[in-house]
């Protein structure tokens, strides 16, 4: 997990296990981004 595509994906994950997308934050705000449920079908919980 230290090399290749897995390390690139994991490097973008936040400490609490969610991923942030700058476009989503601009559209919905930081609080919804921290929730981890949106955007539908792309969020960590899906």
Is the torsion defined by CA of 45, 1, 6, 21 positive or negative? positive
SS3 37: coil
What pTM does this model have?
0.46
Nearest to 44 by CA among 12, 19, 14: 19
| Amino acid 8: pLDDT | 87
Residue numbers in the chain where pLDDT is lower than 50: none
């Amino acid at each position: 997990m230290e090399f290749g595509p897995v390390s690139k994906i994991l490097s973008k994950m936040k400490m609490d296990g969610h991923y942030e997308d700058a476009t989503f934050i601009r559209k919905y705000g930081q609080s919804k981004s921290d929730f981890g449920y949106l955007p539908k079908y792309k969020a960590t919980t899906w």
